[in-house]
């Protein structure tokens, strides 16, 4: 038995030594995952259009820390923080409100780089703000009698009322009925405050330190051309002011009036 075991043991050891060695393979580092190419549409905001650059959906499969680098070939572009995951891009739209360009994002996990790209389309008309009857809420228009109806095309940091081509201004009903009416008086003055609202809410604020284009409409012409007499007493009517800038861009601005009989 001892002789047999001594012959068998070296054979077992020989078999073990003959097996090929296996070197552990390091795990493959997966590259960061980014968004697919797409086109983002924006409305022109005036001389400068600011759009968001959002990389919040970008991630690394292994959870490695990421670095970001935004670049763009858009006209007059300026990126607020080009190394941030999410930031803003300012584009020069002073000469044209129609812009097509692209943005590229480089993402790195320290081992692999991944690139993402999306396209930007900016178009007009730009949206401005209208305040019918500044300082009053609601915005009443009395059907009877003469006089004028005041209004203001509100100036903002992105909308310079000094560039408005005044003869192009027209006030119309939002529902398309009646005929548009032009203002009869213009003056640049701080008489209104921005109040973004798609409904018929209103406010009584009148000063924010920025110049507005104060307007006056002949009330009799406004009542006749907008067909206000057919509206119910104390009813609200959305109206739209349209026009162009001296640089050629079109714009529109909305508010509501309250018809009173």
114: domain CATH number is: 2.60.40.10
Structure tokens at 232: 């119910």
Specify whether 90 is located in the same domain as 142: no
Does some domain include residue 162?
A: yes
pLDDT at site 2: 42
Specify whether 83 is located in the same domain as 169: no
> How far, in Å, CA of 57 to CA of 59, rounded?
6
Digit-by-digit pLDDT tens for the chain (261 residues) are 444 444 444 544 444 445 556 666 768 899 999 999 999 888 777 778 899 999 999 999 999 999 999 999 999 999 999 999 999 999 998 888 889 999 999 999 999 999 999 999 998 777 799 999 999 999 999 999 999 999 999 998 878 999 999 999 999 999 989 999 999 999 999 999 988 776 788 889 999 999 999 999 999 999 999 999 999 999 999 999 999 888 777 888 999 999 999
What pTM, to 2 d.p., does this model score?
A: 0.57
Specify whether 206 is located in the same domain as 254: yes
- The set of residues, in sequence order, having a beta carbon less than 8 Å from that of 250 and lying 6+ positions away, is 97, 124, 125, 126, 242, 243, 244
pLDDT at site 19: 57
**Among candidate residues 80, 104, 123, the one where a domain is terminated:** 123
Q: How many CB atoms lie within 10 A of CB 31?
A: 16
Provide, for the chain, the percentages of residues in helix, strand and coil under a 3-state DSSP scheme, each rounded to the nearest 5: 10, 45, 45
Domain that holds residue 140: 126-260
pLDDT at site 6: 43
Question: How many structural domains is the chain composed of?
Answer: 2
Specify whether 130 is located in the same domain as 187: yes
pLDDT at site 23: 66
Does some domain include residue 136?
A: yes
pLDDT at site 1: 44
Does some domain include residue 32?
A: no
- Residue 104 CA from chain centroid, whole number: 19
**Among candidate residues 76, 91, 123, the one where a domain is terminated:** 123
Specify whether 86 is located in the same domain as 109: yes
Does some domain include residue 30?
A: no
pLDDT at site 120: 95
């Amino acid at each position: 038995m001892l002789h047999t075991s001594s012959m068998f043991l070296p054979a077992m050891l020989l078999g073990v030594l003959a097996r090929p060695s296996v070197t552990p393979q390091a795990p493959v580092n997966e590259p960061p995952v980014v968004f697919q190419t797409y086109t983002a549409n924006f409305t022109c905001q005036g001389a400068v259009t600011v759009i968001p650059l959002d990389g919040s959906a970008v991630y690394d499969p292994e959870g490695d820390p990421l670095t970001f680098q935004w670049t763009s070939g858009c006209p007059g572009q300026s990126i607020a923080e080009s190394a941030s995951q999410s930031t803003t891009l300012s584009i020069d739209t002073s000469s044209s409100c129609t812009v097509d360009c692209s943005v590229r994002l480089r993402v790195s996990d320290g081992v692999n780089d991944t690139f993402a790209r999306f396209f930007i389309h900016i178009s007009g008309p730009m949206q401005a703000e209208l305040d019918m009857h500044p300082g009053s809420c609601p915005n009443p228009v009395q059907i009877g009698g003469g006089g004028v109806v005041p209004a203001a095309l509100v100036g903002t940091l992105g909308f310079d009322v000094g560039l408005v081509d005044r003869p192009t201004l027209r006030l119309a009903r939002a529902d398309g009925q009646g005929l548009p009416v032009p203002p009869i008086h213009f003056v640049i003055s701080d008489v209104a405050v921005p109040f973004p609202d798609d409904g018929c809410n209103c406010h009584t604020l009148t000063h924010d330190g920025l110049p507005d284009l104060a307007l006056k409409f002949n009330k009799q012409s406004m009542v006749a051309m907008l067909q206000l007499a057919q509206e119910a007493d104390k009813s609200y009517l959305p109206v739209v002011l349209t026009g162009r800038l001296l640089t050629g861009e079109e714009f529109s601005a909305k508010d509501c009036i309250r018809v009173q009989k």
